[in-house]
Structure formats: structure tokens, C-alpha cells
Chains A and B, each alone.
Chain A
Amino acid sequence: MATVPNAAPNAVGTAAAGRDDRPAPPPVVVRLQPEGETRTFDRVNTALQLLNRLGLLPTMALVIRNGGLLTPDVRIRPGDELEVRRVTSSG
């Protein structure tokens, strides 16, 4: 990833939210291919939700985390670094 995540790398996303002094969970960092553009998202729960926010249907892109493919139902965690690779070639 070319960008520096703006949250501390050791920040662990805890499920127990609700205490005001806790730091916000780190955002999900998404690299879009083939553009190479990076975007960040807060509160994305699943790969499907991420694709929806990007305006993509599940069969329009691969979602990759740690070198592996994710199906749409897979849960996304705060601080995840993902790649979304659109599959439509231009001819």
C-alpha cells in the first residue's frame, strides 16, 4: 500500500464501543484497481457493503485481503487493508 494509514498501526478494533475516551476504530483502507486510487471507509461490515458503497455489484470486482479473495458475505474489520480490483476490461 502506498499510503500511510492515519490510525496507529497497533490500534486494535474492539467491539466494546460506547466509552467516550476510546479512540475511534481505524478506518478500512481500500485500494481501487486498476486506477490505483486509495480510499478510506468507516464502519464497513461486509465485503458486499463495501462493494455497494463503491457502486459495484458483487460480480464486478474482486475483493482481496492479505493476498486472498473474499466472498461478499465475509466480515470486514476496522483497520483492514483491502484491494478492490474491477474486472471489466475495456475490450
Chain B
Amino acid sequence: MKCKRCKAPAVVALPSHHAGFCPDCYKIFFARQVERAIHGQRLFSHEDRILVALSGGKDSLALMLELGRQGYDVTGLHVDLAIPDSSAAARAVVEGFCAEHGFALRVVELEREGLAIPLVKARLKRPICSACGKIKRYFFNKVALDEGFTVLATGHNLDDEVARLFANTLRWDRAYLADQGPLLPPENGFARKVKPLYRLSEFETANYAFLMGIDYHTAPCPYSTGASFTGHKKLWADLEHRSPGQKLAFYELFLKQGREAFAAQERRVGAAVAPCPECGYPTSAEICGVCRVRRALAGEGGGPGVGGDLDDRDD
């Protein structure tokens, strides 16, 4: 197979783009997809201060590197979950990556916050991942707002977004469908959130990470239950294999033709958001999910109900 752009031997074949690319042209392809997402969806500009959530996985590191190459003002944020045999390795990958590329990095240590995930897990009756996700999002938002970042970027790729959209669609979850997308505007006290890799599949970010020599964290979290979306990802892989390009079309057409209908209805009947009386974080519940986790850890009341807040609106 030959490179579509320069006819050198291809190293990446992309059925969805009817193309193969050599290493150099692949990097150009990848950069253009990111640019197209940023400009097409008006995600941010070179004036913005961008906080990039870095888990240590390929997607977040690929995002950080590419935004840096495009000259954006980026700072990394890693949340150290304090999970034995896992968090230290992920953190080391992130720290090594940022040191190598000269990126500024903030680290939030949940241990210090009294919210070490093993501790939370021991006290909660429900599966840990929902609370863990909530705590991570809480600190992403909080650091962004406290330190004056104008944008919070995450490495969600097309497969993540399609799996999530599909799950929301199966439930016709109006509130989630109303604001799923690569851009959530800054409202209700939340930082503006963006997903600049939304046009790129997991396969595409993996190829980019490989070709850029990014050394990423792959060991699964010991608490992972095998990810709820994995079944949907498999289904979509088969659909995409049969008609390449369908995944991106499903998502783009939702943005163009589907989302506004849900958003309009949500504006009429959606839940109101107010600052949490304990920490000031925006919430649609009486107190925010993280304060409920803190209360549970302090032994007040039963297990916290950690669903239903609008701060769930993004994973």
C-alpha cells in the first residue's frame, strides 16, 4: 500500500478515509483532523489558557503533544487516585512525558484530599467507577476555575464519543443528549470543556502515539469492571468495518441535526443548577456529589447517591 499524499510506502491504512499514509503524512493527517475539530466547532483559540486532563493513556498524551505542536498554551493536570499498583505507574508516565516535552503539569493527590479511591471504595456500597469519575471531574473543573484556565480539554476520541452517544440514545436520555458534544460552553460555573480528538478513532490516536514515540500507560485499573461501553464499541467496530466512515457520520450528524432538539426541550424542563452550599461547586442536587462522598467517608448518612447531578454531564 502506498501513501495517498506522497506515494511512499504506507504504514497506516485508514478505510474510513479511503487512504494509507506514510509516517510523515500521517502526522499531517492527524494534525489536520485536530485543526478541523478546533476550528469547525470553535473549541478555542491561541489566546486561551488550556488545561489538559492527563490520565497517562494514549489519548490524553497524544492530545497534549499535538496541541503543544500547534502552539497552544497548554498545561497538564493529573489526578493521582492513590490506587495501589496502578496510580504510581500512571503518574510516572505523565510526569516523564511532561518533563520530556517541557510541559507544565499540575498534580492533584486524592490521598491529600482525603479522597483516596481505595478509601472511597471501601465506604461506598455502589460500584466505585461512578464516584471515581465524579471526583476526577470535580478536580478538573475546580483546578480550571481556581487557576483561571479558560478551557478544560480531555482526550475523548471518536470511539468514546460514539459509544457514549449510542448508550444515551438507547435510553433516550434527554439531559445527556442535550449537551453531548465536543464543546460544552462555560456555564453554571463550569469551565468550558472541549474534546479536540473527537474526529479521531482510537486506532488513529494509537497510530499517532506510536509514530510520535509516546510511551503511554496501558495497565488497566485494578477496579475496572471491563468498561461498560466495551460491548457497544465492539458493535460499532463491526458496523464501521462493514461501512467505513459510519461512526464519524453518526456523530457529526447528531451534532448537526439531532442535538438541538434535545437541548431546546431541556432548556424548558431541565433541572436548575446552583452552587453547592458546602464547597460552591455547581450542582443540580442539594449538595454536590463530591461533598456527599466526603459526608459518607465522615460517617454521616448512608451511601451517597452519586447520580443525577449535572456535573455528570461529561465523563
Q: Show the binding face of A for B, using Cβ within 8 Å.
A: 33-34, 57-60, 62, 64, 68-74, 85, 87-91
- Report the stretch among B40-48, B220-228, B256-264, B272-280 that lies at the interface: B220-228
- The SS class assigned to the A binding surface is loop
In the complex the two chains form, is B1's CB within 8 Å of A73's CB?
yes
Q: Which residues of B contact A33 (CB under 8 A)?
A: 218
12 A-B residue contacts at CB 8 Å? Answer: A57-B241, A59-B15, A59-B201, A59-B237, A69-B11, A69-B211, A71-B12, A87-B58, A87-B202, A90-B224, A90-B226, A91-B129
Number of CB contacts from chain A to chain B under 8 A: 66
How far apart are the CA atoms of A17 and B208 in the complex, in Å? 40
In the complex the two chains form, is B210's CB within 8 Å of A90's CB?
no
The interface on chain B, measured as residues whose beta carbon lies within 8 A of the other chain's beta carbons, has a size of 36
B residues 153-189 touching A (CB-CB < 8 Å): 159
Q: A71-B1, A87-B206 are in contact. Are A34 and B227 (CB under 8 A)?
A: no
How far apart are the CA atoms of A87 and B228 in the complex, in Å? 17
In the complex the two chains form, is B230's CB within 8 Å of A90's CB?
yes
How far apart are the CA atoms of A62 and B1 in the complex, in Å? 16
In the complex the two chains form, is A88's CB within 8 Å of B233's CB?
yes
Question: Which of A34, A59, A74 has the most B CB atoms < 10 Å from its CB?
Answer: A59
In the complex the two chains form, is B1's CB within 8 Å of A59's CB?
no
In the complex, given contacts A59-B237, A73-B13, A90-B227, what are 20 additional A-B residue pairs having Cβ atoms less than 8 angstroms apart?
A: A34-B220, A57-B238, A57-B241, A59-B203, A59-B240, A69-B207, A71-B11, A74-B1, A85-B206, A85-B210, A87-B203, A87-B205, A87-B206, A88-B230, A89-B59, A90-B221, A90-B224, A90-B226, A91-B228, A91-B229
